Structure 1
Amino acid sequence: MELSIAKEVIEAYGFTADTVSLQQIGSGHINQTYLLSSLKDNKKYILQNVNTEVFKMPFAIANNIKAVADYLKEHNPDYLFPAPMATLNGDLMASHNDEFWRLLPFVEGTFAFDTLSETKQAYEAAKQFGKLSRLLNKFDTSVLSVSIPWFHDLAWRYEQFTFALNQAPVNLKANAHEVIETALHHHFIVDYYRSYERSSEFPNRVMHHDTKISNVLLNSSTNIGVCVIDLDTLMPGKFISDLGDMIRTYLCAFSENEKDLNKIKIRLPYFEATVKGYLSEMASILTPTEKELILFSGKYMVYMQALRFLTDYLKGSIYYPITYPAQNLDRAKNQFKLLSELFESEKILQDIIEECLS
């Protein structure tokens, strides 16, 4: 294919335009990702452009990843952590024309996927995200920058929702009336979180913050988890960010774009596999308070995502891409249905958690 990336970027890593081939890959919507193959030795790499519209401090992200990589290299040298490689000049990224690029090792013999098809995948993914946090249990989170401010701050998301509600056109508020009432009713989730927020039993940890299934690599032959990828949002947070987002995205067979709410059901085997996989790594370091909040983590993250979709709808759908005008409203309805399923199944789900903990 024709090289569409500046030669200065390629040359920063010791290649030339005529010694590599490039192929755009990945399903992510934020960063552009390419498979870079060296024509000299057939080695493969991942070349990625950092989206500075979303990540406004790319060097803060690079410093975060390097700090974690250095710590893991010292304390757990056998752990596979695919951190970006330095340029020939020793820089953490290559920059050209106000664009920032990084080169990462390609992990041979692995694959990533977008949709869960069996419980083993949920178990392995949850185990990998849990393992990363466990290995960083003693890491000083204060040295890490916040790559996206207020990313998983539910109180802030609720404030954004109420502000959008006060500013929204009458017709949008009318269309969303029932969903708005549901959002307001569930404000108690914010209050419940705040009652724990500053507890010493609810510590900040190094969290991945984007635990969708496509951010885990599995072994191509065994389907066993190998490592986690996409480390832009690696920053301090609460354990509920990672486990809660896995509960949000692994439990239902349908994504937030599904409009038939009758299809939004919790798959109990996937819930058990997710919790079991996560606790296989994290049970030994979670505090009693954190263990109490395992199911709440799912409610927290589902409610927050519902608020985000509803807020965007009320603002005229300026953030999430849409294919029809009411899509963000339908996405909010989808997530509120999932939230109701968590509450309705609470006894069963809590019993599963207790069994996993024991």
Structure 2
Amino acid sequence: MLEKILSVYGLNPEKITITPFGDGLINHTWKVSGNTGNYIFQKVNTSVFKHPQAIDENISGIKTYLSGKFPDYLFISPVKATTSDSLYQDNGEYYRLFPFVEGSHSLNYLENEDEAYEAAKQFGKFSKLLSGFDTKQLNITIPDFHNLSLRYEQFVSACSGASAERLKHASDYVNFVNQHKEIVDTYLSISQNPEIPLRVIHHDTKINNVLFDDHKKGMCVIDLDTVMPGYFISDVGDMMRTYLSEASEEERDLSKIKIRKEFYQAIFNGYMKEMDEVLTDAEKQYFTYSGKFIIYMQAIRFLTDYLENDKYYGARYEGHNLNRAINQITLLKEYLKLEDEL
């Protein structure tokens, strides 16, 4: 079946090999190798992205802008099929083909602060180059993705509808979330501040969404499905959430969750290398807040899902999402201890 679809891109099914590629959790991804070159082939997860055409339109619009303004920037956009479409539909499923960037690789975890610096610099560069792009031209690919006010409302609703057993197990963490509602209030003030503009934001700044060259220098950002209008705190905060601790969100040994201050400095240096002259003075005041913002929101999302019987993230074992929430709350506590120093 995949060979049939790839033929629409002019690839000879008899002269290509298809192998699973990467560790992405959302879209199905393969590497396609053949005599015409190497490619990345994806099947879009329509359960998460309800309107794949909206993503395709965003990427196309950004490509046109960058090609005109910054033609030397490495921007990875889909290859057009023989139908002239960059998004191909077959039996209700959506597919796309990207060129494989030779000499590039991605990372699944950070080994040192230099890698954090390079990644932060690339995400900053992406937003800087698009600072003149009209965000109104972008589609919202996941509505309210980083709307903390809404996430908190969903959490409150989940508390009121949760079973007595789950509410009992989660009571200490529910109390912690409520005790730190000022994080929500600050987000609301940011969203109402005219000096804090909506920008072109990646919204998923995990380390594996940056391509590195063989010298460990950042080349560009990838996985543009969540590129939408947003606040800079989303990109900076997601880097802090996923870079600062060596432990992942799945870690159950809470003693391993520590803030690496040198990684915070690397994120700041890399991002501000590109964005220092772009961000307003009002935005810069919330750089450290961005870490609280995303960590708190992810804790809420895991806790909400636990209280709602794991209907969104699912659970590989009993209490999985509660453990994830505890993990993120622990990370937030460690962050808060260092907030003034940071």
Q: Which residue of 2 aligns with 1:197?
A: 191
Residues 313-352 of structure 1 correspond to what in structure 2 (within 5 A)? 313-349=306-342
Q: Tell me which of 1, 5, 9 is aligned to 2:2.
A: 5
Separation of aligned partners in 2, 1:104 and 1:276: 31
Q: Tell me which of 168, 177, 185 is aligned to 1:183.
A: 177
Separation of aligned partners in 1, 2:83 and 2:317: 47
Indicate yes or no: 2:20 matched with 1:24: yes
Task: Write the letter of the residue equivalent to 2:111.
Answer: S
Separation of aligned partners in 2, 1:23 and 1:282: 38
Q: Deviations over 1:10-38 (max 9, x none)?
A: 12101132121101111011100010112
Q: Which residue of 1 aligns with 2:124?
A: 130
Separation of aligned partners in 1, 2:73 and 2:9: 24
Q: Which residue of 2 aligns with 1:64?
A: 58
Residues 1-358 of structure 1 correspond to what in structure 2 (within 5 A)? 4-5=1-2, 7=4, 9-38=5-34, 40-41=35-36, 43-220=37-214, 222-349=215-342
CA shift at 1:321, angstroms? 3.8
Separation of aligned partners in 1, 2:84 and 2:234: 33
Q: Aligned to 1:294, what secondary structure does the other structure show?
A: coil
Which ranges of structure 2 fall in alignment gaps of 5 or more residues? none
Identity %: 47
Task: Write the letter of the residue equivalent to 1:82.
Answer: I
The worse-fitting range, judged by mean Cα deviation, of 29-38 and 317-326 is: 317-326
Task: Write the letter of the residue equivalent to 2:268.
Answer: V
Task: Write the letter of the residue equivalent to 1:50.
Answer: V
CA shift at 1:260, angstroms? 1.9
Separation of aligned partners in 1, 2:173 and 2:308: 15
Q: Which residue of 2 aligns with 1:353?
A: none
CA shift at 1:338, angstroms? 1.1
Task: Write the letter of the residue equivalent to 1:253.
Answer: E
The alignment of Structure 1 onto Structure 2 pairs a total of residues equal to 342
Task: Write the letter of the residue equivalent to 1:122.
Answer: A
The worse-fitting range, judged by mean Cα deviation, of 338-347 and 70-79 is: 338-347
Task: Write the letter of the residue equivalent to 1:198.
Answer: Q
Separation of aligned partners in 2, 1:51 and 1:338: 30
Task: Write the letter of the residue equivalent to 2:306.
Answer: Y
The worse-fitting range, judged by mean Cα deviation, of 85-94 and 21-30 is: 85-94
Q: Aligned to 1:232, what secondary structure does the other structure show?
A: coil
Separation of aligned partners in 2, 1:209 and 1:91: 26
Separation of aligned partners in 2, 1:85 and 1:6: 16
Separation of aligned partners in 2, 1:54 and 1:346: 34
Moved beyond 6 Å, runs of 4+:
none
The worse-fitting range, judged by mean Cα deviation, of 194-203 and 243-252 is: 194-203
Separation of aligned partners in 1, 2:16 and 2:88: 17
Separation of aligned partners in 1, 2:99 and 2:80: 11
CA shift at 1:198, angstroms? 2.1
Q: Aligned to 2:41, what secondary structure does the other structure show?
A: strand
Q: Deviations over 1:149-175 (max 9, x none)?
A: 010100111111111111111100001
Q: Which residue of 2 aligns with 1:352?
A: none
Task: Write the letter of the residue equivalent to 2:186.
Answer: Y
Q: Deviations over 1:71-98 (max 9, x none)?
A: 0000000000001111111112111010
Q: Aligned to 2:340, what secondary structure does the other structure show?
A: helix
TM-score when normalising by structure 2: 0.98
Q: Deviations over 1:41-79 (max 9, x none)?
A: 3x1011111000000000000000000011000000000
Q: Aligned to 2:157, what secondary structure does the other structure show?
A: helix
Separation of aligned partners in 2, 1:136 and 1:121: 23
CA shift at 1:6, angstroms? 5.5
Separation of aligned partners in 2, 1:323 and 1:89: 41
TM-score when normalising by structure 1: 0.94
Task: Write the letter of the residue equivalent to 2:305.
Answer: D
Q: Deviations over 1:208-228 (max 9, x none)?
A: 0000000001002x1000011
Which ranges of structure 1 fall in alignment gaps of 5 or more residues? 350-358
Task: Write the letter of the residue equivalent to 1:21.
Answer: T
Q: Aligned to 1:68, what secondary structure does the other structure show?
A: helix
Separation of aligned partners in 1, 2:95 and 2:101: 19
Task: Write the letter of the residue equivalent to 2:30.
Answer: Y
Separation of aligned partners in 1, 2:76 and 2:282: 32
